[in-house]
Amino acid sequence: MDAQKEEVDENGEDIMEGALIARDKVGVQDFVLLDSHTSEAAFLNNLRKRYQENLIYTYIGSLLVSVNPYQELDLYTVSQMQLYRGVNFFELPPHLYAIADNAYRVMCNEFNNHFILISGESGAGKTEASKKILQYYAVTCPTTEQLQTVRDRLLLSNPVLEAFGNAKTLRNDNSSRFGKYMDIQFDFKGAPVGGHILSYLIEKSRVVHQNHGERNFHIFYQLLEGGDKDLLCWLGLERNPQKYTYLIQGRCAKVFSINDKNDWKIVRKAFSIIDFTEKDMEHLFGIVASVLHLGNIQFEEDSNGHAIIRDGSQIKWISKLLGAHLSILQEALTNRKIEARSEEVLSPLNVDLAFYARDAVAKAIYGRTFTWLVDKINGSLANKDSTKKTVIGLLDIYGFEVLDTNSFEQFCINYCNEKLQQLLIEMTLKAEQDEYELEGIEWEPIPYFNNKIICDLVEQKHKGIISILDEECLRPGEATDLSFLEKLEEKVGDHAHFVTRKLADQKTRKSIDWVDFRLLHYAGEVTYCAVGFLEKNNDLLYRNLKEVLCNSKNSIIRECFLMSELDNRRRPETVATQFKNSLTSLIEILMSKEPSYIRCIKPNENKEPGKFDDFLIRHQVKYLGLMEHLRVRRAGFAYRRKYELFLQRYKSLCPATWPHWHGPAAEGVERLIKHIGYKPEEYKLGRTKIFIRFPKTLFATEDAFEYRKHLLLSRLQAKYKGFLGKRAYQKKRKAAIKLEACWRGALARRAAKKRTWAVQTIRKFINGFINRKKPLCEENRDFVRLSQYYYLMKLRDHLPKNVLDKSWLRPPSILEETSEMLQKICVRNLVRKYCRGLTAERKVQLQQKVVTSAVFSGKKEGYLESLSQPFLETRLKENDLNPKVLQLIRGENIKYVTPVVKYDRNGFKARERLLVLTQSSAYVVEMAKIKQKIEFTLKGTSGTLCQGWVTLSLFFCFQGDVILQDEHIFETAKLCILANKQSAVKVVKGSLRFRVGSGKEGTMVFTVGPEPQVFKDKTGQLTVVSTPKKS
């Protein structure tokens, strides 16, 4: 249990609940522990502290005080229910669930009956508290599929009873207008197997009258708002509640906080689960509708002063819905049957009496139908098993009421609260005395206010207020409320708790009217208005009206109004006597059970969350008798706890009991309190419990425990952290070892797999090498592919860089054909790249080189050495020519100009000239003169290389050949291109015959000598000497 408590203490507000050290902030969770237990201010201050922290529950011993928070709090979840299940009463913060669970556990363990009394004024949360307790039992008790139906009926009986028995009042939008006692029956396993409900004093007057700001019972509005169109049509109703007299008196038919349509759906669902038949619901809704129709009946006075019904539409609907004869019903509402000896006489009613009769019928029908409804629910909850059952009773009953005007209903309610307060004090004192005697501690009589004197004032035979009221109702003659008041003054006027205006002193008389009387209740003074007491107590229904209802065809009405009533000539019991008898019966039921108490408090009148109205709450604390209960509870010892629990909690404060005490718990506690230093007057040791007289003693012990707990927690944390560290290290070490072993295994398997693969691969390639010359097959495929791959990879890095690079990597035999194809592709690619990179000028030069190659390649020495030298476009620019020459050539595009040496044909004298080539002619130019123009009828040329000297011979048919020496003989090949005479060019060696003139020829001889020279030899031939070429 302590483990669970500590778990709760770790969370937010619960840590304040778990430790008394937080009492300065949130107060104490048990009023018994207040130092100033007799101070009402201290009581309210403690209640306020807790309410401001949303701690709405506080104990007074085993009594629970509940303050309505007027907001949703996270206190009622399933996890909260499980938390309180089976836990010791004081081990967790105060809660409804703790009260419910304690009653359930004691019932199961001791097989005795219990009841939980829930009281408080309207709006304090009594109905919600009873719902929460029912939900707790539904969730936490053992169940089967069969028992689930019983649970559902127990839970869904609430919405039905609320619809017919609750209403909006000034103080509460869902106020219970009847008292309810519900027995929940459990089998020997602790499972809920049935239930039984008793109802007390349904407020029938609300059916016909509501104060301003209040409503009639919920069912009327739910039917109009939620009923489907066909149902309303069958009942003769309209949706608008403003159409019905019984619903408009409070002037608040629509309420924002109430969803009548949704509530109607819940009620219809509940009816089906509680086992109502369609016929039952049809008759029930017919009764509800007939009440509304009754309210709309209006009476008028005829000429004789008798009441008559002018509009018969409403009474027709009533006749249909109740199954009563129309004319008989109409006669019963306007006439009264009087028995005179052996005769029955109809006496017409005046308008006032007719309205009284109408309202009496409405109240009687609704009141008895509510009783039938409770009986019907009891029938569905009844357990047919005859085995013995244990029960837990829930008493949800009105609290003490003090209104601006207090009438007969408040008188009955406050009488009920007097009886319950008497029961509470007596049972609390008895429980205290029994515990003292059981523990062997001397009982000291406790002085307290015994309200038996007030109960006797109300209920004593022949002398009490109820007896006097009955006498006035039953005596012949005209009894009035004033005559009743006079009789009270006569018979109980000398009672200390009874005052009227006539009996009061001068000061008190001003606050009491002539028709009022005042009772001094245990909770304070209440002034009652005697007007209406006799009428409400009589609650008479005329005999002829009762006959109509007894003969009704509505099955529910027939069950409520039995024919046997007509045969009974005795006057029925008055309402007050009925209530007194039922209350006496209830007290007997409660006296036979073990009690638990819940006192509900309303914090403010406006239903605002967080608002704490001191005046209002002080008033409720007073009339709920909380201070009196606290005083009785604190008269002896403020705190008591079993030895085992006390020792378990505080054993760490004494070295002798920490960490383990191996002897009896009583001896351990005795050793512990001696070590702490308790004084003899501060405690008593019983047989099974320790009793501590003063709260300050407990608080000092709790503070010491809180300090000690921090020290122990520090040690525990250190030890635990060390343990966690060691465990984490061992876990990591173990994991590392396992991981290393797995990794080494994985590496070894990988290496073995790699070696196997390597062996297989080597074997495969050796076999491929052996069979490499065979055609491609399975045996040599991988080797051939690898050879191809490596050759291609190596070839990639050794490709020729240009067109002239003829190097090529030698291929293996199996790739020779492929290599040859690749080489061709590579050369083509290089050529393509080279060609794409050529400029137009360079292209022309290369074309000239091609022509030159065709002419001189293999024929002329020095040609190969000239290949690397690019041709110039011209050796001399056009600007270098004499303008006169340009003028003479005009119109022709000059292609090439180069300096040359011309040799005369006769004397072979050397003359420097310029050779100018155009598109159509060649010009030999001297300074500003054109010495010779040669049309492109070129027959041939010859020349030889002699240390840079070139002899060029041109032969022309008619004028003779021109002998020119040009150092750039290969560039002069442009002449062949321009003349388009490439095939006419001849290259000769040794000697050359040329034509000097018409019919004459000469010879040029080419020789090798030590020095280059050109001369005319003795034979008249032109001799050209060149140096030999170095090898």
Decide if 1031 is catalytic.
Answer: no
- Mean pLDDT of all residues in 671-681: 85
Most confident of 306-315, 852-861, 943-952: 306-315
**Is the backbone peptide bond immediately before 812 cis, with ω within 30 degrees of 0?**
no
Nearest-CA neighbor of 156 among 268, 78, 257, 262?
A: 268
The answer to whether the CB of 244 falls within 8 A of the CB of 264 is: no
Strands 929-935 and 941-942: unpaired
User: pLDDT tens digits for 218-233?
Assistant: 999 999 999 999 999 9
User: pLDDT tens digits for 42-99?
Assistant: 999 999 999 988 899 998 878 899 999 988 888 899 999 999 988 877 778 899 999 9
The answer to whether the CB of 627 falls within 8 A of the CB of 89 is: no
Q: Which of 68, 176, 819, 972 is catalytic?
A: 176
Q: Which of 120, 194, 295, 399 is catalytic?
A: 399
Tokens representing residue 624 in the block: 């709920």
- Between CA 458 and CA 462 the distance in angstroms is 10
The pLDDT value recorded for residue 1031 is 55
Burial class (CB within 10 angstroms; exposed 0-12, middle 13-18, buried 19+) of 796: exposed
Most confident of 119-123, 671-675, 738-742, 944-948: 738-742
Strands 524-529 and 516-521: antiparallel
Decide if 250 is catalytic.
Answer: no
| DSSP character string of 862-924 | THHHHTTSPPPS-SS-GGGS-HHHHHHHTTS-EEEEEEEEEE-TTT--EEEEEEEEESSEEEE
Q: Which of 27, 61, 120, 123 is catalytic?
A: 123
- For the cut 70, the answer to whether the pLDDT of residue 15 exceeds it is no
Burial class (CB within 10 angstroms; exposed 0-12, middle 13-18, buried 19+) of 491: middle
Q: Which of 122, 174, 205, 380 is catalytic?
A: 122
The pLDDT value recorded for residue 398 is 75
- For the cut 80, the answer to whether the pLDDT of residue 1020 exceeds it is no
Decide if 493 is catalytic.
Answer: no
Taking the model in full, what pTM does it have? 0.62
Question: Could you give the percent of the chain with pLDDT greater than 70?
Answer: 92
Q: Which of helix, strand or coil describes residue 803?
A: coil
The pLDDT value recorded for residue 952 is 42
Burial class (CB within 10 angstroms; exposed 0-12, middle 13-18, buried 19+) of 440: exposed
The pLDDT value recorded for residue 885 is 83
Q: Who wins on pLDDT, 829 or 695?
A: 829
User: pLDDT tens digits for 278-300?
Assistant: 999 999 999 999 999 999 999 99
Of the ranges 53-57, 894-898, 991-995, which one carries the lowest mean pLDDT score? 991-995
User: Which H or E element spans position 1013?
Assistant: strand 1013-1016
The answer to whether the CB of 408 falls within 8 A of the CB of 534 is: no
The pLDDT value recorded for residue 842 is 80
Greatest Cα pair distance, the chain, in angstroms, is 204
- For the cut 50, the answer to whether the pLDDT of residue 822 exceeds it is yes
Q: What is the mean pLDDT of the chain?
A: 83
Task: Please compute, for residue 402, the number of CA atoms within 13 A of its CA located in the half-sphere on the CB side.
Answer: 16
- The partner residues of 690 in beta bridges, in order of sequence, read 641, 685
- Mean pLDDT of all residues in 339-360: 82
The pLDDT value recorded for residue 480 is 85
The pLDDT value recorded for residue 963 is 80
Tokens representing residue 424 in the block: 């509470």
Q: How confident is the model at residue 16 (pLDDT cuts 50, 70, 90)?
A: very low
- Between CA 628 and CA 425 the distance in angstroms is 8
Q: How confident is the model at residue 342 (pLDDT cuts 50, 70, 90)?
A: low
The pLDDT value recorded for residue 10 is 37
Tokens representing residue 1018 in the block: 């003795």
The pLDDT value recorded for residue 937 is 56
- Mean pLDDT of all residues in 490-506: 87
The pLDDT value recorded for residue 948 is 35
Burial class (CB within 10 angstroms; exposed 0-12, middle 13-18, buried 19+) of 47: buried
The pLDDT value recorded for residue 705 is 84
- Between CA 356 and CA 362 the distance in angstroms is 10
- Between CA 692 and CA 679 the distance in angstroms is 11
Decide if 1026 is catalytic.
Answer: no
Decide if 339 is catalytic.
Answer: no
Decide if 123 is catalytic.
Answer: yes
Q: Which of 46, 66, 127, 538 is catalytic?
A: 127
Decide if 122 is catalytic.
Answer: yes
Strands 910-918 and 498-500: unpaired
Q: Which of 162, 401, 459, 472 is catalytic?
A: 401
Of the ranges 82-96, 556-570, 625-639, which one carries the lowest mean pLDDT score? 625-639
Decide if 714 is catalytic.
Answer: no
Tokens representing residue 301 in the block: 């006075």
Q: Which ranges constitute the DSSP H helices of 797-870? A: 816-836, 840-856, 863-866
The answer to whether the CB of 987 falls within 8 A of the CB of 938 is: no
- For the cut 90, the answer to whether the pLDDT of residue 678 exceeds it is no
- The partner residues of 962 in beta bridges, in order of sequence, read 954
Q: How confident is the model at residue 12 (pLDDT cuts 50, 70, 90)?
A: very low
- For the cut 70, the answer to whether the pLDDT of residue 528 exceeds it is yes
Strands 390-396 and 114-119: parallel
Tokens representing residue 288 in the block: 């509800």
- The partner residues of 116 in beta bridges, in order of sequence, read 394, 596
Distance of CA 541 to the CA centre of its chain: 59
Burial class (CB within 10 angstroms; exposed 0-12, middle 13-18, buried 19+) of 792: middle
Tokens representing residue 514 in the block: 């002539």
